[in-house]
């Protein structure tokens, strides 16, 4: 003997409608267009010790404003063989959307002018440097420390994104009062030369210096 389940017509209609819907009950269907949620852009090259994408900053501006820095005392230096490294939580790096592998010859690899054309004025970076020194708890002479772009301008770093700037202490053994002197600058120059010569990609150079500038050259077999 067969047993038939009788379902009232209104209930049956509801069940049929629910089965045709692709959206979960109590939720909304995915949007087919529109802008993504607001927040820091991170569609650049993969980098950093965590492997997350490098953030994309605003890029060169006609005029720059002083950017908010991390809270005082919230950032902490790391050291690798005595060399100072940035706090990756405070300074993860940020790249400029204006510099791409496809336009190197008209941007960072053109002869003269690129970095000076996009560099913020000292009236802006001077104030940011003081604030960032407080972020990192830097107590040394300001003249001996560099307000450094983690990803340098000559490697397509963003000019004024707070995520790409940090007060870099002088190298150990540096004579106090002798001005800015560190070993990161030559690394940046060698990476820039390699990128413009086609030996390494822009993405690889950016990733290497964000991961650890002290090992960037060896990681790319450039040392």
Does residue 45 sit within a domain? no
The stretch 128-145 carries a mean pLDDT of 95
pTM over 0.85: no
pLDDT band at 82 (very low <50, low <70, confident <90, very high): confident
Q: State residue 181's pLDDT score.
A: 65
Does residue 208 sit within a domain? yes
Six token digits for residue 76: 């902490």
Enclosing domain of residue 196: 55-219
Does residue 169 sit within a domain? yes
Does residue 128 sit within a domain? yes
Query: What Cα–Cα distance (Å) separates residue 89 from each residue in 163, 210, 215?
Result: 9, 12, 19
In whole angstroms, give the CA distance from residue 100 to residue 56. 12
The stretch 135-147 carries a mean pLDDT of 94
Does residue 109 sit within a domain? yes
pLDDT score of 63 more than 80: yes
The 3-state DSSP class for residue 217 equals helix
Does residue 95 sit within a domain? yes
Residue 3, Cβ density class (10 Å: 0-12 exposed, 13-18 middle, ≥19 buried): exposed
**Helices 184-196/202-211 angle, 10° precision:** 160
- Lowest mean per-residue pLDDT among 72-76, 150-154, 173-177: 173-177
Does residue 35 sit within a domain? no
Overall domain count for the chain: 1
Q: Please, what sign has the CA dihedral across residues 112, 117, 119, 123? A: positive
Residue range 9-52, pLDDT digits in tens: 443 343 333 343 333 323 333 333 332 223 345 444 444 444 67
Taking a C-beta distance cutoff of 8 angstroms, is the pair 209, 150 a contact? yes
Residue range 83-110, pLDDT digits in tens: 999 999 999 999 999 999 999 999 999 9
């Amino acid at each position: 003997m067969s047993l038939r389940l009788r379902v009232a017509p209104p209930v049956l209609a509801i069940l049929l409608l629910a089965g045709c819907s692709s959206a979960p009950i109590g939720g909304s269907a995915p949007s087919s267009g529109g802008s993504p949620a607001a927040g820091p852009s991170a569609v650049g090259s993969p980098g950093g010790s965590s492997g997350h994408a490098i953030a994309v900053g605003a890029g060169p501006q006609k005029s720059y404003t002083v950017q908010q820095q991390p809270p005082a005392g919230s950032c902490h230096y790391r050291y690798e063989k005595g060399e100072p490294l940035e706090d990756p939580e405070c300074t993860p790096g940020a790249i400029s959307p204006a510099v791409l592998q496809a336009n190197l010859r008209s941007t960072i690899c053109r002869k003269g002018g690129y970095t000076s054309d996009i560099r913020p004025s000292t009236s802006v970076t001077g104030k940011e440097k003081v604030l960032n020194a407080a972020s990192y708890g830097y107590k040394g002479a300001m003249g001996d420390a560099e307000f450094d772009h983690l990803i340098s301008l000559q490697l397509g770093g963003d000019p004024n994104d707070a995520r790409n700037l940090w007060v870099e202490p002088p190298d150990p053994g540096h004579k106090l009062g002798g001005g800015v002197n560190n070993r990161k600058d030559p690394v940046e120059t060698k990476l820039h030369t390699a990128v413009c010569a086609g030996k390494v990609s822009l993405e690889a150079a950016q990733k290497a210096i964000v991961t650890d500038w002290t090992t960037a050259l060896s990681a790319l077999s450039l040392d």
